[in-house]
Amino acid sequence: MEQYRTRSPRYGPRQDRPRPPRQPVPSQSGRGAGDEPVRAARPPGQQRRPAPVRRPAPAPAATTGGLPNPRLTGLGSGLFCTVVMFLLGLLCSTLFGTSLTAYGVLFLPVCALSALWVRRGDLMTPPVVLPIAFTVGLLPVADGEGGTGGMLMGLVTALATQAGWLYGGTLIAGLIVIVRRIRLVHRRRAAGVRPPT
């Protein structure tokens, strides 16, 4: 006799459940049917991430083998001029004795460097501090008798005889400062920035 298998009552009657739609399986080349690219479905409510923005790398600074270009403050410019002129005065007194001409010639490049190296905010400082530095540098060079009075007389005489070098160096520094100031004003006008009053 044939026996039919019966389903156990604990499983209950079979119910037909709806099957979820089948997703197309991407091929190895990453394309589906019809050679169309297959995109993964995003869950609802999830926004697409923006593509990262690539910033250009900063351009490397140009390396030049020129002269140093420091930026001195007003106080730094005054100290630079005074110390350098005093050292040059000692050097001239050691090498050339009381030759004030060598000292005056060396004063001119110091004036130019102090006017070139001072920062833009302190452009008016070099023409003011250069006469002071010139006077301080004359102390070792000035030919004076012993005592304070003799030294002061030698200093006044050196200033009177070497006034041409003093005026020439101050004039060079003043011209450089004026040219730098004009260029600064033109740059600010081109950029639309009003110069400070």
Provide the pLDDT for residue 152.
83
- Does residue 133 sit in helix, strand or coil? helix
Max avg pLDDT among 48-52, 77-81, 93-97, 99-103: 77-81
The pLDDT, as a whole number, for residue 62 is 47
Measure Cα distances from 167 to 3, 81, 141, 159, 160 in Å.
Answer: 132, 15, 19, 11, 11
**Stronger pLDDT, 70 or 86, i.e. the higher one:** 86
Cβ contact 122:181 at 8 Å: no
For residue 118, give both structure tokens.
């001072």
Mean pLDDT of the residues in the chain: 75
SS3 label, residue 57: coil
The yes-or-no verdict on residue 124 having pLDDT over 50 is: yes
The Cα 176–Cα 196 span in angstroms is: 20
| Euclidean distance between CA atoms 100 and 92, whole angstroms | 8
Going by C-alpha positions, the residue among 127, 129, 128, 140 that lies closest to residue 86 is 140
pLDDT in tens, 137-193: 888 887 766 677 777 888 888 888 888 899 999 999 999 999 999 988 888 888 875
Q: What is the mean pLDDT of residues 95-102?
A: 79
Q: Residue 176: its pLDDT value, please? A: 92
Whether 40 shows a pLDDT value over 60: the answer reads no
Lowest mean pLDDT among 91-105, 115-129, 168-182: 91-105
pLDDT at residue 109, as a whole number: 92
| pTM attached to this predicted model | 0.58
